[in-house]
A and B are shown apart, each in its own frame.
Chain A
Amino acid sequence: MVVYILDMVILVIGIYCLIAKRHLIKKIIGMVLMEYSVNLFLILIGYRHNGIAPILMPDENRVHFAQYGVDPLPQALVLTSIVIGLGTLALMAAYAMRLYEKYRTFDMSEIRRLKG
């Protein structure tokens, strides 16, 4: 139970960092924290104490396998979600670079031309 709570704490810190911090790079770090905490959450769902890798060998005992094999599906989901996170991260970094070229600052509070 404690690990789930700690994981949610990371998630909340990430969201806070992404919204409240004004520095663009800190925002990016917040985004990364947020995504990693969700990935960790998915892995925790499939976790089993003393689990074995979910690969069924021909000589494996099926009952033992069903009892101790970890759930492979969340691991597959996490792989996909890491790749998506990488795409978002790259786009965000590209945006930060372009914003710096235009505004000569990383401070989001000075990047405010849109209103109304």
Chain B
Amino acid sequence: MASVMLPLSVGIPLLSAVLILLIGKAWRNAGALFAPITTLITLVFAIDLLGADAGTYWMGGWPPPFGIVLVLDSVSKVLLLVVNMVAFLASVYAVSYMQKYTAQNKFYALFILMLAGMNGVVLTGDLFNLYVFLEIASIASYALVGFGVEHEELEAGFKYLVLGTIASTMLLVGIAIVYNLTGSVNMADVARFVSGMPPNKALLFALAMFLFGFGLKAGLVPFHAWLPDAHPSAPAPVSAMLSGVLIKAIGVYPLIRITYSVFGAPNIILNLILWLGVISAVVGVFLALGQYDIKRLMAYHSVSQMGYVAIGIGLGTPLGIAAALFHMFNHALFKSLLFLSAGSLESATGTRDLRQMGGLKKKMPITSLATATGSLSIAGVPPFNGFFSKLLIIIAAIMAKQYVAAGVAAFVSLLTLASFTKVMKYSLLGKLNEKYERLKESPVLMAIVLTILSVLCLGVGLFYNYFMDSIFNPAANDLLNQAKYISMVIGG
């Protein structure tokens, strides 16, 4: 039995979200105090669990496959760490950023609720439980996208809500089919049943349903239409959470878990994921090239970068999966950095249009440095972290003899560099617009968060070898070893 920290990672945020709403009625700063404390606690748990042994926690003491189990293995550890780290930094940033909004407590409650849902999705070992947590995270995010209640935000939120609901419904259909075939919703139990049975069209149909549902939540092309509307419309800390971790925790991670640990990675699905990834990488970056809205541009790059992750997953080799997980980790760091610094630029200048910015380097040195770090990381310039994970994905693609995917990945990387050169040229360099003469650097808390994320981007890049060996390679090996997952959950 693993430690009680597993259920607490979900339970503490759930409790805290309710407390914020209750206490918030009497004291309007309740959220600004409770949210960073809650995320700090879950972050400490996540860091502590990194060193823990893999294991399961039986909810209510019911043994699997009858009860719900929470499973901690090396893949969940990576996701748990990155989700809680970005959540903590974003919530600290929000304390300063959200001051201009009304109904702050509702914001914090939804934010923490979304975190609870994501932690649940990452830890659960039960298909229906995964659906429930996924819906908690999704519904909270639907509400957060429309939080500004202006014309565009409401439109984007409604669009996201409609498409997200269809995806969730398809997931439930998939789960129902799996239950009908195997008589269980416990992932390991389903895996044991599936591995002993011949290829089956109904199972493939269920897997296609999962691919659609999680692909939409992950924003892969052709299911990406909501993403460039929804991610920029939310307030900056939420954009950072949505683009940084939500699309991974409720999109890519369950997709990996279900394809590899539960269904044992059938080739046809792996190929589908690979080509979805190639298309996403290309389409996302081409759509991003023409954008002048800074947050919209970054949202399109999320589509493109998720394409890289999908390429790595679709290869199905240990190096490919490890590189994909590493890229997922890096993307969470630099994309949240980019969205948070875009938020700083927006709240200082009052616009998201790149053409109206310019010369901000002198007025906002820290934010500019952070924007530059994030841009160089996502563009894959050594020694920043994005370079190594992209290089590893390309190497893995060449070793798996997928030359087209490798070529596309390299080509997209160049276009990403071009696109972010544009961001830096328009926003940081050039002549200062007269109306920004009296601009000041962003508040201390926001600047501290940006600095921490920048240092992390550089640090992970410099010590990439250490991170690959200690975290990502074991995770990839665990994913490929289906028998070990089954014996850990059912036997333990």
Contact B172 A38 (CB under 8 A): yes
Asked if B229 is at the interface (CB within 8 A of a chain A CB), the reply is yes
Total inter-chain residue pairs, C-beta < 8 Å: 91
Asked if B132 is at the interface (CB within 8 A of a chain A CB), the reply is yes
Asked if B73 is at the interface (CB within 8 A of a chain A CB), the reply is no
Evaluate whether A114 and B142 lie within 8 angstroms (CB atoms) in the complex, with A38-B173, A42-B176, A45-B180 already known: no
In the complex, A98→B151 CA distance in Å? Answer: 9
In the complex, A57→B151 CA distance in Å? Answer: 58
In the complex, A88→B167 CA distance in Å? Answer: 13
12 contacts between A and B (CB under 8 A): A11-B173, A34-B165, A35-B165, A41-B176, A77-B185, A80-B132, A95-B154, A98-B146, A98-B154, A102-B150, A114-B152, A116-B293
Asked if B33 is at the interface (CB within 8 A of a chain A CB), the reply is no
Asked if B464 is at the interface (CB within 8 A of a chain A CB), the reply is no
Task: Give me the 4 closest cross-chain CB pairs, A-B, nearest first.
Answer: A84-B135, A45-B180, A95-B158, A114-B229
Q: In the assembled complex, which residues on chain A have CB atoms less than 8 Å from the CB atom of B139?
A: 84, 87-88, 91
Asked if A92 is at the interface (CB within 8 A of a chain B CB), the reply is yes
Contact A103 B151 (CB under 8 A): yes
Evaluate whether A99 and B172 lie within 8 angstroms (CB atoms) in the complex, with A91-B143, A116-B296 already known: no
Q: What DSSP secondary structure best describes chain A's contact surface? A: helix
In the complex, A92→B142 CA distance in Å? Answer: 9
- Interface residues of B toward A: which range? 35 or more
Q: In the assembled complex, which residues on chain B have CB atoms less than 8 Å from the CB atom of A112?
A: 155
Q: In the assembled complex, which residues on chain A have CB atoms less than 8 Å from the CB atom of B293?
A: 116
Which of B208-246 touch A at CB < 8 Å?
228-229
Evaluate whether A77 and B128 lie within 8 angstroms (CB atoms) in the complex, with A84-B135, A87-B139, A91-B161 already known: yes
Q: In the assembled complex, which residues on chain A have CB atoms less than 8 Å from the CB atom of B128?
A: 77, 80
Contact B176 A45 (CB under 8 A): yes
Asked if A66 is at the interface (CB within 8 A of a chain B CB), the reply is no
Evaluate whether A18 and B166 lie within 8 angstroms (CB atoms) in the complex, with A80-B128, A99-B158, A113-B152 already known: yes
1/0 per position for B171-184, CB-CB distance to A under 8 A?
Answer: 01100100110000
Contact B154 A34 (CB under 8 A): no
Evaluate whether A92 and B161 lie within 8 angstroms (CB atoms) in the complex, with A103-B151, A114-B229 already known: yes
Asked if B157 is at the interface (CB within 8 A of a chain A CB), the reply is yes
In the complex, A81→B127 CA distance in Å? Answer: 13
In the complex, A38→B8 CA distance in Å? Answer: 32
Where the two chains meet, the residues of B that have a C-beta atom closer than 8 Å to any C-beta of A are 128, 131-132, 135, 139, 142-143, 146, 149-152, 154-159, 161-162, 165-166, 168-169, 172-173, 176, 179-180, 185, 228-229, 290-291, 293, 296
Contact partner of B162 (CB less than 8 A), chosen from A27, A84, A103, A111, is A27
Asked if A13 is at the interface (CB within 8 A of a chain B CB), the reply is no
1/0 per position for A16-52, CB-CB distance to B under 8 A?
Answer: 0011000010010001001100100110010000000
Contact partner of A31 (CB less than 8 A), chosen from B132, B165, B296, is B165
In the complex, A88→B143 CA distance in Å? Answer: 10
Contact B155 A113 (CB under 8 A): yes
Nearest CB of B to A14, in Å: 8
- Number of A interface residues in the complex (CB < 8 A): 34
Nearest CB of B to A8, in Å: 9
Asked if A56 is at the interface (CB within 8 A of a chain B CB), the reply is no
In the complex, A38→B135 CA distance in Å? Answer: 15
Q: In the assembled complex, which residues on chain B have CB atoms less than 8 Å from the CB atom of A35?
A: 165, 169
Q: In the assembled complex, which residues on chain B have CB atoms less than 8 Å from the CB atom of A38?
A: 169, 172-173, 176
Which of A71-116 touch B at CB < 8 Å?
73-74, 77, 80-81, 84, 87-88, 91-92, 95-96, 98-99, 102-103, 111-114, 116
In the complex, A31→B151 CA distance in Å? Answer: 23
In the complex, A81→B157 CA distance in Å? Answer: 22
Q: In the assembled complex, which residues on chain B have CB atoms less than 8 Å from the CB atom of A41?
A: 173, 176
In the complex, A81→B185 CA distance in Å? Answer: 15
In the complex, A102→B146 CA distance in Å? Answer: 13
Contact B161 A18 (CB under 8 A): no
In the complex, A113→B159 CA distance in Å? Answer: 12
Q: In the assembled complex, which residues on chain B have CB atoms less than 8 Å from the CB atom of A27?
A: 162
Q: In the assembled complex, which residues on chain A have CB atoms less than 8 Å from the CB atom of B152?
A: 113-114
In the complex, A103→B153 CA distance in Å? Answer: 12
Residue of B with least CB distance to A92: B161
Residue of B with least CB distance to A71: B183
Nearest CB of B to A33, in Å: 10
Q: In the assembled complex, which residues on chain B have CB atoms less than 8 Å from the CB atom of A80?
A: 128, 132
* A15-B169, A35-B165, A92-B161 given; 17 more Cβ-contact pairs under 8 Å: A11-B173, A27-B162, A38-B173, A41-B173, A42-B179, A45-B176, A45-B179, A77-B179, A77-B185, A80-B128, A92-B165, A95-B157, A98-B149, A99-B158, A102-B149, A113-B155, A114-B152
Nearest CB of A to B315, in Å: 33
Nearest CB of B to A92, in Å: 6
In the complex, A73→B128 CA distance in Å? Answer: 11
Nearest CB of B to A101, in Å: 9
In the complex, A73→B172 CA distance in Å? Answer: 14
Q: In the assembled complex, which residues on chain A have CB atoms less than 8 Å from the CB atom of B180?
A: 45
Contact B166 A15 (CB under 8 A): yes
Evaluate whether A111 and B155 lie within 8 angstroms (CB atoms) in the complex, with A45-B180, A95-B161 already known: yes
Q: In the assembled complex, which residues on chain A have CB atoms less than 8 Å from the CB atom of B159?
A: 114
Q: In the assembled complex, which residues on chain B have CB atoms less than 8 Å from the CB atom of A113?
A: 151-152, 155
Q: In the assembled complex, which residues on chain A have CB atoms less than 8 Å from the CB atom of B161?
A: 88, 91-92, 95
In the complex, A21→B166 CA distance in Å? Answer: 15
